Amino acid sequence: MIKQTFKNLKRQNRAALALFITCGDPDIKFTERLAEKISQCGADIIELGVPFSDPMADGATIQEASNRALASRTNVGMILDMVLRLRARGVKTPFVLFGYFNTFFQMGVDNLARRSKEAGVNAWLVADLPIEESGEVLPHLKANGLDLIALASPTTPLERIKKISKTGSGFLYYVTVAGVTGARDKLPEDFAKRLEEVRAASALPVGAGFGISNRESAHAAAKRADCVIVGSKIVDLLYKTRVQFGEDKAIDEACEFVKSLSSAMNRQ
């Protein structure tokens, strides 16, 4: 499904818009409403963040969201059940289960891969799983028709990017800045040049994430990347709006934000 999404968008000369949300913040019912709504408002791919107590790649915004989700006792099984319900209601947007290996390992990699397929998940992204250690995961994903989204950073050598992209599938998640997740005012100065090099080296479509926070930076990324990934900004928007105005308003605001980003995905 992810491969077909990129094919369809390429014909339209558009980049894909991927949104990261923390599942269970503040509870799974809210997440389910949110996922369905943003799928209708322009999200081409939805990354379902699995809460974890030590999300080392994430900045304060997503760490705090993960803590709130853990407080609501959200777990990966609940997330899969949510995906199953969304699929039953006709939501077709590709879902990426995004988390850390410890959480995936606890359920059993083979069991989780099977259940992911049954629920309607399309891919995994395991933030702390180096490609050299993916042998424990890949056979189970392939057996269940799931993609493994691999990560690359500004310091990843181009030869390694070639290797990573041939091992992973779906798309290559390129982290645009060194460090942890978090909304930033602008993209790095060498962003365009580096992304051009990464796309040339990668056998997969390239998604640009970490730091993209508004329509302007999203459009700049869309002109260079195959996919634009937004996480911290929407997580922060949801939390602040929900606390001040309630859940319905938070979901409405998230929808408007997604619409504004989607309108910036034209690559011209």
Catalytic site residue from 25, 32, 36, 58: 58
Report which of 26, 75, 72 is spatially closest to residue 51, judged by C-alpha positions.
75
CB atoms within 10 A of CB 117: 17
Give the max Cα distance, the chain: 49
Catalytic site residue from 25, 32, 36, 47: 47
**What phi and psi, each to the nearest 5 degrees, are found at residue 253?**
-65, -40
Q: Is 47 a catalytic residue?
A: yes
Q: Is 252 a catalytic residue?
A: no
Kindly list the catalytic residues: 47, 58
